[in-house]
A = this chain, B = another copy of it.
Amino acid sequence: MIKLSKKIEYGILALQYIAVHSDKIVSAKEISEQMGIPYEFLSKTLQQLMKKGLIVSQHGIKGGYVLGKNAADVTVKDIIIALEGKASFLDCFVSSDGLICERSPNCTIKDPMEKLQSKVMQVFNNTTIAEIATT
């Protein structure tokens, strides 16, 4: 299905929460409770976002997370890539890893599908956490 995964959903909710409460450090526990997200799963998601630099972590008691970059510079596409590694519609369109579809040489839908994909990615790339946090 053309559906955003729970992980993406949680990631957006968390980033939005962190952006809204940018005056303090927020813990995974706080986000989990306030947003109704399973704690362990959320922790994993936050750790991934941290590794990609979207948020910065503070260890130890009184620790938690703050944004790693300006909310206006974090797009939904960034979040998807941070949490799922890539954002592409068809496996054969991921040119980076050496995947070659058996239809590839003379595929009849490749070009139009790539166009479609790039249009959708533009949409994802034009929606930022700042927008989501203020709307």
Contacts and interface: CB of A to CB of B under 8 A. Distances in A.
A12 B109 contact: yes
Chain A, interface size: which category?
35 or more
Interface in A85-135: 86-91, 102-103, 108-109, 111-113, 115-116, 119-120, 123-124, 127, 131-132, 135
Given A76-B116, A112-B132, A116-B127, A2 B1 contact: no
Count chain B CB atoms within 10 A of each CB in A36, A76, A120 and give the residue with the most: A120
Contact of A88 (B3, B88, B113, B127): B3
* Interface residues of chain A: helix, strand, loop or mixed (majority): helix
A97 B14 CA distance: 27
A61 interface: no
A17 B36 CA distance: 47
Nearest to A2: B87
Contacts of A76: 116
Contacts of A36: 102-103
Interface of A: 1-5, 9, 12-13, 16-17, 20, 35-36, 76, 80, 84, 86-91, 102-103, 108-109, 111-113, 115-116, 119-120, 123-124, 127, 131-132, 135
